[in-house]
């Protein structure tokens, strides 16, 4: 048997469309560039990845609270955060064919017509604007948030006051972010609407560099637990000239996507930039020059030091991961093509079981046999109660086809219900393992325990 992995994005795009993971958005109207919808399996995979992140960030720690803030954002928030002035990419026009490009993506040559007759780069702000309320005028605009982080900073005081947290502590959020990317590309890698999993971890000033290192290590380990291999992961310390306007230091976690080694997550030391920028009277707190002089928020975003009783503006370490890039990375890693000894091909998505969209497929051997179908439905119901995720009743009547489909979508276990399951005592089913294709008989009375143990030991 020979094995190969996904070396082309086309393999993944085709699988995602064929099996219902990811579709181009508004496809029946020709699509809308840089936007994708998640189908029946994609939504499960994405939710599983987000749940794994939430578990590790919130439930398994004692120093992080959760939050779900609004997408529509007051323009002042994004003015004081620096996004109105600096959240830009360099844009160039092709003078010949009139197309527009991100300057650092084109190497001086139009990607459409090949012309080198390009304008000088000029800054293009990537935030989407909209209006709020029935009056549409100069002042009624707001933004769709370009990062979830700002909702965390503007709720810093609310969370602090309602939880009595002391430093160090964090606030975690998963949600949509929007960027009007000049050139969205590489499937769901660079899109205009995406999701982020962000933690703002507030620490004593002076301890930030140590925490930065800790978080880089924690996040690398987490990605490995999602099935990404060390060979395909790398850390990159961003050069000072590449840092975002708020960052003192950023470490990127890079992944070897089908199109190349690129950023999966960024871990930034945002210092006191944001809390300072959103605070009234920043000069009282000895904040640095980045703070805008006409601050008009209603709060000082600081915390009382337990010993000195002085107001301290915490520094912030921010691990910020893209959900969509995470989905693309785990799909890339899991996609396997095996050429079997008889020459046939088997596509297997070797996802970590906790990420698999379907946890168990229950397949009746004969779709028209009421006793077998009824038994299969009962088994599905019993397994569903485990709360592992989706258990699928797969009544196509073709077990071989069922196995192939579930290999392709990454279902770790298929349980086939046959005549022995209804005629023999004790009743049993065939369990087939996705990765080894090995089959074994398991008594129906042991099945719930078997599946529970499988998920406890495999994930
Ligand atoms: N709050 C910090 C922040 O937003 P970022 O590096 O601009 O930092 C964080 O974004 C992560 O969000 C990236 O590492 C990437 O995974 C994801 N991301 C950013 N822009 C994206 C886009 N256009 N499409 C998909 N994911 C994107």
Q: Is 263 close to ligand 1, i.e. is its CB under 6 Å away?
A: yes
The answer to the question of residue 81 being in a domain is no
Cβ of residue 118 lying under 6 Å from some atom of ligand 1 = no
Answer yes or no: is 186 within a domain: yes
pLDDT of residue 287: 46
293, part of any domain? yes
- Pick the residue whose CA is nearest to atom 27 on ligand 1: 322
User: What are residue 142's DSSP bridge partners?
Assistant: 130
Going from the C-alpha of 335 to that of each of 3, 120, 259, 292, the distances in angstroms are 10, 42, 15, 49
56-82 pLDDT, tens digit per residue, is: 999 999 999 999 999 999 999 999 999
Distance from Cα 376 to the centre of ligand 1, integer Å: 44
Give the whole-angstrom CA distance, residue 193 versus residue 308.
45
Q: What residues contact 290, with CB distance under 8 A and at least 6 apart?
A: 82, 273, 276, 277
pLDDT band at 354 (very low <50, low <70, confident <90, very high): very high
With contact defined as beta carbons under 8 Å apart, do 181 and 34 qualify? yes
Same structural domain for residues 378 and 287? no
Number of domains in the chain: 3
On whether both 121 and 133 belong to a single domain, the answer is: no
| Ligand 1, atom 22, residue with closest C-alpha | 190
**How distant, in Å, are the alpha carbons of 2, 9, 60, 143, 224 from that of 333?**
17, 12, 26, 35, 11
Contact in structure between 78 and 127 (CB atoms under 8 Å): yes
Instruction: Let me know how many helices (H) and strands (E) the chain has, helices first.
Output: 14, 25
101 and 43 both lie in a single domain: no
Q: Tell me: do 170 and 313 sit in the same domain.
A: yes
Contact 290, 273 (CB under 8 A): yes
Q: Is the CB of 34 under 6 A from ligand 1?
A: no
161, 186: one domain: yes
Is the sign of the CA dihedral 12, 13, 19, 25 positive or negative?
A: positive
Q: What is the C-alpha to C-alpha distance for residues 403 and 438, in angstroms, rounded to an integer? A: 12
Q: What is the arithmetic mean of pLDDT over 93-109?
A: 92
- At 263-280, the pLDDT tens digits run 999 999 999 999 999 986
Range of the domain at 392: 356-458
The alpha carbon of residue 149 and the mean position of all alpha carbons in its chain are separated, in whole angstroms, by 15
Residue 370 CA to residue 321 CA, distance in Å, equals 48
Whether residues 436 and 318 share a domain: the answer is no
Is 338 a member of any domain?
Answer: no
CATH number of the domain to which 407 belongs: 3.40.50.800
Closest CA relative to residue 83, chosen from 202, 199, 177: 177
Q: Is the CB of 96 under 6 A from ligand 1?
A: no
State whether 136 and 158 are in the same domain. Answer: yes
The mean-pLDDT minimum among 77-86, 298-307, 409-418, 426-435 falls in 298-307
Instruction: Assess whether pLDDT exceeds 80 at residue 433.
Output: yes
- Whether residue 80 is contained in a domain is answered as no
194 touches ligand 1 (CB under 6 Å)? yes
380-425 confidence digits (pLDDT tens): 999 999 999 999 999 988 999 999 999 999 999 999 999 899 988 8
- For ligand 1, mutation pick of 261, 320, 324 (most atoms within 8 Å of CB): 320
- Supply the CATH number for residue 217's domain: 3.30.930.10
Question: Do the domain assignments include residue 185?
Answer: yes
Parallel, antiparallel or unpaired: strands 315-322 and 193-203: antiparallel
Question: Above pLDDT 70, what percent of the chain?
Answer: 94
Domain end among 298, 331, 364: 331
Q: How far, in Å, CA of 303 to CA of 194, rounded? A: 32
State in Å: Cα 111 to ligand 1 middle.
24
pLDDT of 3 above 70: no
pTM for the whole structure: 0.94
302 shares a domain with 179 = yes
- Asked if 144 and 231 sit in the same domain, the reply is yes
Residues 262 and 411 in one domain: no
Nearest protein Cα to ligand 1, atom 6:
266
- Residue with CA closest to ligand 1 atom 15: 322
How confident is the model at residue 341, as a pLDDT?
Answer: 85
Buried residues in 284-302 as b, exposed as e (16+ CB within 10 A): ebebeeebeeebebeebbb
Q: Give the distance (Å) from ligand 1 centre to CA of residue 143.
A: 17
pLDDT in tens, 115-134: 999 999 999 999 999 999 99
276 and 288 in a single domain? The answer is yes
Please indicate, yes or no, if residue 309 is contained in any of the structural domains. yes
Kindly state whether residues 218 and 253 are assigned to the same domain.
Answer: yes
> 386-413: b or e for each residue (b if 16 or more CB lie within 10 Å)?
eebbbbbbbbeeebeebbebbbbbbbbb
Residue 79 domain-assigned (yes or no): no
């Amino acid at each position: 048997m020979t094995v190969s992995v996904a070396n082309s994005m086309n393999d993944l795009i085709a699988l995602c469309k064929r099996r219902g993971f990811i579709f181009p958005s508004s496809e029946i109207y020709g699509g809308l560039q840089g936007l994708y919808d998640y189908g029946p399996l994609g939504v499960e995979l994405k939710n599983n990845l987000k749940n794994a992140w939430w578990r590790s960030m919130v439930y398994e720690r004692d120093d992080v609270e959760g939050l779900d803030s609004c997408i529509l954002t007051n323009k002042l928030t994004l003015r004081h955060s620096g996004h109105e002035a600096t959240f830009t990419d360099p844009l160039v026009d092709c003078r010949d064919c009139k197309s527009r490009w991100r300057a650092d993506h084109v190497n001086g040559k139009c990607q459409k017509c090949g012309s080198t007759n390009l304008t000088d780069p000029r800054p293009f702000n990537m935030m989407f604007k909209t209006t709020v309320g029935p009056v549409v005028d100069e002042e009624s605009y707001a933004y769709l948030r370009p990062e979830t982080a700002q909702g965390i900073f503007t709720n810093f005081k609310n969370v602090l006051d309602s939880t009595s947290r002391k430093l160090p502590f964090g606030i975690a959020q998963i949600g949509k972010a929007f960027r009007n990317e000049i050139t969205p590309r590489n499937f769901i890698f660079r899109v205009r609407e995406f999701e982020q999993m962000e933690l703002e971890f507030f620490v004593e000033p002076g301890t930030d560099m140590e925490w930065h290192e800790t978080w880089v290590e924690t996040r690398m380990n987490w990605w490995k637990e999602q099935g990404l291999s060390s060979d395909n992961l790398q850390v990159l310390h961003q050069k000072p000239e590449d840092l975002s306007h708020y960052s003192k230091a950023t470490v990127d976690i890079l992944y070897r996507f089908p199109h190349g080694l690129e950023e999966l997550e960024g871990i930034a030391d945002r210092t006191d930039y944001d809390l300072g920028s959103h605070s009234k009277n920043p000069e009282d707190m000895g904040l640095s020059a980045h703070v805008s002089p006409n601050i008009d928020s209603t709060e000082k975003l600081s915390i009382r030091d337990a010993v000195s009783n002085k107001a301290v503006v915490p520094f912030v370490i921010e691990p910020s991961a893209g959900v969509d890039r995470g989905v693309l990375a785990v799909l890339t890693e899991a996609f396997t093509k095996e050429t079997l000894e008889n020459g046939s091909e088997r596509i297997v998505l070797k996802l970590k079981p906790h990420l698999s969209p379907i946890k168990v497929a229950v397949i009746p051997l004969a779709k028209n046999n009421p006793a077998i179908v009824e038994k299969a439905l009962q088994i599905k119901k019993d397994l569903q109660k485990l709360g592992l995720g989706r258990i699928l009743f797969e009544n196509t009547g073709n077990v071989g086809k069922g196995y192939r489909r579930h290999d392709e979508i990454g279902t770790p276990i298929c349980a086939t219900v046959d005549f022995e399951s209804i005629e023999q005592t004790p009743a049993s089913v065939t369990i087939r393992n996705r990765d080894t294709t090995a089959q074994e008989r398991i008594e129906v009375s042991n099945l719930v325990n078997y599946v529970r143990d499988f998920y406890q030991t495999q994930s």
